Amino acid sequence: MFELSIQSDIAAAHFLRGYDGPCKDLHGHTWKIEVVIARGELDAVGLVADFALLKRQLKEFLRTVDHVCLNDLAYFKEHNPTAENIARYVYVNFSGVVAPLEIKQVRVWESGTSSATYYE
């Protein structure tokens, strides 16, 4: 099995509903997002996938969540915009962009020392 990972980042604000602490108030992060793709075989060139293409696709996909208040987006009106839920959002929705490639996991850092990972 082979894995590759790509990373990008977004700047976005959020606040956590139902949270008793400072994160209940509007604040922002520069979120780092890593997508790991897994594949059992390489293509004819010897690649899992083209890094350049995947990075462009991820950057384009993330435009909808960049420089916004995440709480204003439909998905995050139903799901608190935690790092965990952002990771799940990217996993589920970016999977359709990269199909038939399989996303193994998505990791989202809200700081250099704190991250959450989602996988199925």
114 close to 83: Cβ distance less than 8 angstroms: yes
Distance CA 11, CA 13 (A): 7
**Alpha carbon of residue 56 to chain centroid:** 14
Q: Which residues are the active-site residues? A: 23, 67, 110
Q: Which residues of 14-38 are buried (b: 16+ CB within 10 A; e: fewer)?
A: bbbeeeeeeeeeeeebebbbbbbbe
In the numeric block, the tokens 């139903």 are attached to: 78
